[in-house]
Chains A and B, each alone.
Chain A
Amino acid sequence: MSQPLVEARGLTRYFAQRGGLFLRRSQYVHALERVNLTVRQGETLGVVGESGCGKTTLGRCILRLIEPTAGEVLFEGVNLLTLSRQEMRQRRRNMQMVFQSPYSSLDPRFSVLNLIAEPIVTHTDLKGKALMARVEELLARVGMEGDYLYRYPHEFSGGQLQRIAVARSLALNPRFLVLDEPTSALDVSVQAQILNLLQQLQRELGLTYLFISHDLSVVQHISNRIAVMYLGRVVELSTTDGIFYGAHHPYTEALLSSTPVLDPALRRERIILEGSVPSPANPPSGCRFHPRCPKVMSICSQVEPELEDIGGGHLVACHLVSGGNIETILSPRAKRSGAKGLLATSVRDSSLHSVPLRMTSSCLVESRRT
């Protein structure tokens, strides 16, 4: 469980944006800025954030579908970014992606057989009956028994298409899947079916997931750990309970508070952030969240906070935390959420005391390597 399978170090991606007369002026959209994270063997790491926070770019950079501008991606200790095309192609068998909309990720002119067989034909020598049997086996795995091989995408519902997309991603027995908003295009009742399928497959096949979503309740449901992103940076990373019951970053708190809860009795004062996410082409100085932060301090606009371990692997990038003032950072949500929250708080506090040395995330990476 604790063995890292995928590791991103200082992952950065800028997109050039041209404009002005004759497109001579170019500026850079900072989609990802020095992101460090580890996905452990067999776990689900959830990535949440609002549109434009870089979560999709992160997923794609990790699979090298987009070339990162800087940084490293280690898959089983091998830096993918130094591999040749040929070597990368070999590696890709182990890592696959499921996209948000199966309507656009599945070619409408391909039958189900061809859709699922394509990666197998590309990478292996399987042919004829054996190939067909393999495709049928994959379809059965995703709960689609029956006569589907010669049918086309338009004949299926969204939920069925997403099952086919999952079957296709499993065709080469990958170990790592990047799931980019796999249920966002689906209705709640179908979303539940797909989430169950993903959990079941993970258990049966020992898969590792990077699960990208904007929906906190979905991420909470499926993830072991969660990374919260804002404007290209990871601002908080912890276990699911650590994020939900012991959030430290003001952005995480606001995000949790903005998510509607399913109980009318719990209508509450929310933390409503002002304004909207600034343009990543021109991110604010210092902490990128400072213009919207309800707890902004003078240092926030000048110095960019780095991820720090506040104990138990809970990483936060916020000056409130590095200031060490525990009283002001006690999350109001933890206080509100009663016994469970209090429990999480006390556990967190004790773990804080047991870690006298505060380590930055990069130190952590170093220590894990040695």
Chain B
Amino acid sequence: MSEPLVSIENLHVRFRTYAGQVYAVNGVTFDIRRGETFGLVGETGCGKSVTGLSLLRLVPPPGEIVAGRITFDGQDILSLSEQEMRNIRGARIAMIFQDPAASLNPVFTVGEQVDMVIRQHQPVRRRAARQRTLEMLEAVGLPAPPQIVGAYPHELSGGMQQRVMIALALASNASLLIADEPTTDLDVTIQAQILALLVKLQKTHSLSILLITHNLGVVAETCDRVGVLYAGNLVEVGRTADVFQAMKHPYTQALLAAIPRPGSHGQLLPAIPGSVPSGLERIPGCAFHLRCPFIMEVCQTEKPPLLTVGEEHTVACHLYHNRPTQERGNEPAAG
């Protein structure tokens, strides 16, 4: 396989707040390959959105990237000037957010906003831009584009607004789309529409997608590979099928087990005791050791490195030290 489109190495992001330093991302490393959908999944506050924003260097102050390396298509993102960065944002890397109503400008019509993006990145005349706008709106499956261009965002439903956001993101031929919880605010039937649209556009536009979500079901249905984040640490990375069928990290196992599924009716769910750490205190060793059922002595002092446990499957857990792949067996018991 050719070199990855994006490669993030040892990313550290910190927020200086009045309450103290918040360690949002602590040494995250992963690649996004050309044409794949990479899912970044985790609970509130695990650093998944901040990781996405880091790629665009849009981490809001008081947050700052304190260490790490981000390479996008051969360019070192963190060493670019602000001007060079502006040529990448929107043009090469586009982003869509959870709340499309907050991302669209309420005082411009949909058509004006898409035209603006096209003209920002391409030297085309008004009329040509409008033509392209109509094509984009058509491509994202909006009904009757000639009417939609004249509509203001508030006149559209949530699903339609998200389609407009996707049209905006694609208007500039970006090669990477960062989708931060794109369907969280939408109903399931609309979510299914938007996810199907993203999958379709990925093929037609040869896009790579970084899908950030808390919904493991969405990951299972759409992603090629997945990274699981916990308290700013990547705890497991692998092909979606491998991670879901043979998850290795105790956190991934606990997270999947805690989701109600058909047949679980009437039983108690294996909940994870305690709650996600706030990020204000630095947890020594493995970030999950306070809630982990398989805690060992080493977990409290040493941060586990990413260990290879299978083909393209890595996990950050001391349980898998010095074990040949064959002997791993099923412990800790999956699920």
Contact = CB atoms under 8 A, between A and B. Distances in A.
Contacts of B245: 264-265
B44 interface: yes
A270 B262 contact: no
A259 B217 contact: yes
A264 B221 contact: yes
Contact of A262 (B44, B158, B244): B244
B262 A192 contact: no
Nearest to B241: A264
B103 interface: no
B79 interface: no
Contacts, number: 127
Contact of A258 (B43, B159, B189, B268): B189
Interface in A172-229: 187-193, 195-196, 199-200, 214, 216-218, 220-223
A188 B214 contact: yes
Q: Which of B188, B221, B258 has the most CB of A within 10 A?
A: B188
B188 A263 contact: no
Given A263-B220, A265-B245, A189 B258 contact: yes
Interface in B217-270: 217-218, 220-221, 240-241, 244-245, 254-256, 258-262, 264-266, 268-270
B233 to A, nearest CB: 16
Given A214-B188, A262-B217, A220 B196 contact: no
Nearest to A191: B258
Interface residues of A, number: 45
Contact of B215 (A196, A257, A260, A265): A260
Contacts of B157: 276
Contacts of A189: 43, 254-255, 258, 271-272, 275-276
A347 to B, nearest CB: 17
Nearest to A217: B260
Contact of B192 (A222, A258, A262): A258
Interface in A227-284: 240, 244, 254-255, 257-265, 267, 270, 272-277
B244 A259 contact: no
Nearest to B44: A187
Nearest to B46: A187
B259 A262 contact: yes
Interface string B268-312: 111110011000000000000000000000000000000000000
B148 interface: no
A53 B86 CA distance: 43
B187 interface: yes
Given A254-B189, A258-B189, A244 B262 contact: yes
A221 B265 contact: yes
A342 B157 CA distance: 38
A195 B260 contact: yes
Nearest to B256: A262
B192 A240 contact: no
A337 to B, nearest CB: 8
Contacts of A260: 191, 195, 215, 217-218, 220-221
B127 to A, nearest CB: 31
Contacts of B56: none
Contacts of B220: 260-264, 267
A192 B271 contact: yes
A229 B241 CA distance: 34
Contacts of A220: 260, 262, 264-265
Q: Which of B195, B241, B256, B265 has the most CB of A within 10 A?
A: B265
B193 interface: yes
B192 A272 contact: yes
B115 to A, nearest CB: 25
Given A260-B218, A263-B244, A192 B188 contact: no
B264 A221 contact: yes
A258 B187 CA distance: 9
A105 interface: no
B269 A262 contact: no
A272 B216 CA distance: 20
B268 A50 contact: no
B170 interface: no
Contact of A192 (B215, B266, B270): B270
Contacts of A254: 189
B190 interface: yes
A302 interface: no
A51 interface: yes
Contacts of B189: 50, 254-255, 258, 272-273, 276
Contact of A50 (B187, B195, B218, B221): B187
B240 A217 contact: no
B160 interface: yes
A157 B45 CA distance: 12
A241 to B, nearest CB: 8
Nearest to A254: B189
A193 B271 contact: yes
Given A189-B272, A217-B259, A260-B221, 11 more contacts: A187-B276, A189-B258, A189-B276, A190-B275, A193-B271, A216-B188, A217-B262, A221-B264, A262-B220, A262-B256, A276-B159
Which 10 pairs, one residue from A and one from B, show the smallest C-beta to C-beta distance?
A260-B217, A221-B260, A192-B271, A50-B187, A258-B192, A192-B258, A189-B272, A192-B269, A187-B43, A193-B271
7 contacts: A190-B271, A192-B258, A258-B191, A260-B217, A263-B220, A275-B143, A276-B157
